[in-house]
Amino acid sequence: MTFGFCLILLGSCKKKDSSPSGSSLGSFSFTPSELAILPYPTSDTLIFKSNEGDSIIFKFAGRNSMMKTYYEHPDNPSGYQGNYYSCELNSSGFVSPNSDYLFFNLHYLDPFLGYAGTKYFNIGIATGNSGSCIYSAEFRFEIDTLISYLPDPAFKKGGYVQAYYNTITIGPRLFENVYELIGPGFTIYCPVYISQVYYSIKEGIVGFAQNTGKTWFLLPGKISPPVDAVTPRPYLPVYPASYWIYQTAASTVVSRTSNNYVSFKGMTLTTFDSRPINQYEGFFTYGTYELGWVPILSETPGATWEMPLGNPNTNPGTQVFQVMQKTVDANLDSIIIQRYYTCHKDPLVRNSLYVWQTFKKNVGLVFECWVDTTTNDTIFRKELIDYHINR
């Protein structure tokens, strides 16, 4: 199967000059609401990063719209092709320097075959080393909706909507309102192939995966802050659509910001791990009790503060924070080292566990460890292994 990258330009079939003239039976064009199923170009560059660390950079190759003519008798040997319909074809694509490509095509099928006005959406994806083992699938669509299209029981062509997710995590990123799309598989010929595509009507392709488990996810475009938005500070750069991946002894964990600026108590800000952030303060709640804004970081050496672990009227537990040092690391990057411990205030009992944290300027939290001061044993640690700050 061959699927070369191009922006399809299909011309109308012309009648012979000596043939009688047919009449137009109608014209089908996409409305702006229908074209929104294909949101490109939202950016002239798309960057996909894989769970193995490599990236693909796609450059926008253009978008084209034209009318295709369908005739009543296209193969009439006498030359008279009869009456005809005109149908819009709208195509868009991206290509990388390594010949990876994304291709999209909105079209109508031949109205004379009984499909008048039915809208179809083709998606094609190829990575540079995929050869003929590409992803190529077709779906029906209506405004804001993709629909499975399975024209044959063997599923040798067409496309299938496997699932729809209100939210889904792909790699370290959280996406909203995403379709999981399955295309025909030629596994007998292709030991490695793209098995799934994740598509958002708002953002387009947000991820795709091979049958081997290798997965690519879309890195976010830059998000312009509203005029009144809270500006993140350098040691906690929580810009929208950012993430931080940490390695622990048992697994990896991910911290994320909200995908966009959000409104909270009259402020426009970002959330970090679902908590509203106002520069170096987080908003804490315990059930129906609102503790309010509490520092989670300071740039002032020696600064000390407490954070209650519940309603102070009923919970005597608190955490005591102190900025131990503001310095530079071995790479001469500016860092802040702070620690905190937990204590029971009535009666006063201090926990022997100390938590040490290191924040790097323009990165955020890069290291954390929990030390039992009774035994001097480190009982937990996590270390930053990858991140993306979307600013």
Q: pLDDT tens per residue, the chain (391 residues)?
A: 444 444 443 333 343 444 467 899 999 999 999 999 999 987 889 999 999 999 999 999 999 999 999 999 888 888 888 999 999 999 999 999 998 999 999 999 999 988 788 999 999 999 877 766 889 999 999 999 999 998 777 787 899 999 999 999 999 999 999 999 999 866 567 888 898 999 999 999 999 999 889 999 999 989 999 999 999 999 999 999 999 999 999 899 999 999 999 999 999 999 999 999 999 999 999 989 999 999 999 999 999 999 999 998 888 889 999 999 999 999 999 999 999 999 887 666 777 899 999 999 999 999 999 999 889 899 999 999 999 999 9
Let me know whether 63 and 204 are in one domain.
yes
Query: Which among 257, 262, 255, 256 has a CA at the least distance from the CA of 225?
Result: 262
Q: What is the dihedral of CA 271, 172, 286, 230, to 10 degrees?
A: -10
Cα separation, 103 vs 76, in Å, equals 33
The count of structural domains within the chain is 2
Q: Is 352 helix (H, G, I), strand (E, B) or coil?
A: strand
At 188 the pLDDT is 61
The four Cα atoms 340, 344, 346, 348 give a dihedral, to 10 degrees, of -60
Residue 76 placed within a domain: yes
Residue 257 has a pLDDT of 97
- Same domain flag for 288 and 206: no
The pLDDT of residue 314 is 87
Helices (H), the chain: 32-35
> By the 8 A CB rule, do 130 and 98 touch?
no
Using CA atoms, how far apart are residues 231 and 275, in angstroms rounded to an integer? 16
Query: Are residues 254 and 108 part of one domain?
Result: no
In a domain, 288, yes or no: yes
β-strands 24-28, 84-95: how paired? parallel
Q: Which of 256, 264, 251 is nearest to 365 (CA)?
A: 256
CB neighbourhood size of 101 (10 A): 22
Final residue of a structural domain among 203, 218, 233: 218
88: in domain: yes
Indicate whether 208 and 250 sit together in one domain: no
Last residue in a domain, options 218, 235, 264: 218
Rounded Cα distance, 1 and 188, in Å? 13
Local structure of residue 219 (DSSP, 8 states)? P
Q: Which domain holds residue 364?
A: 243-388
Integer Cα distance of 130 and 127 in angstroms: 5
Copy the structure tokens of residue 155. Answer: 């599923």
Alpha-carbon distance 364 to 88, whole Å? 50
- Tell me the C-alpha distance between 231 and 262, whole Å: 13
- The predicted structure's pLDDT at residue 42: 79
Residues 67 and 214 occupy one common structural domain: yes
Same domain, 182 and 38: yes
Residues 213 and 310 in one domain: no
Rounded Cα gap, residues 384 and 327, in angstroms:
19
Q: For residue 64, what pLDDT is reported?
A: 94
Q: Judge if 345 and 208 occupy the same domain.
A: no
Greatest CA separation for the chain: 104
Could you give the CA distance from residue 353 to residue 366 in angstroms, rounded to a whole number?
A: 20
Whether residue 235 is contained in a domain is answered as: no
| C-alpha–C-alpha distance, residues 221 and 208, integer Å | 18
Is 3 part of a structural domain of the chain?
A: no
Please, which residues bridge with residue 209 across strands? 196, 215
Contact at 8 Å (CB) between 194 and 209?
Answer: yes
With respect to residue 277, please indicate whether it lies within any of the assigned structural domains: yes
- Asked whether residue 136 falls in the same domain as residue 211, the answer is yes
Return the number of other C-beta atoms located less than 10 Å from residue 332's C-beta: 6
Q: Is residue 227 part of a domain?
A: no
Last residue of a domain, one of 218, 235, 255: 218
Q: What is the identity of the amino acid at 213?
A: G
Asked if 190 and 254 sit in the same domain, the reply is no
Q: Are residues 87 and 208 in the same domain?
A: yes
Q: Are residues 253 and 165 in the same domain?
A: no
Whether 175 maps to a domain, the answer reads yes
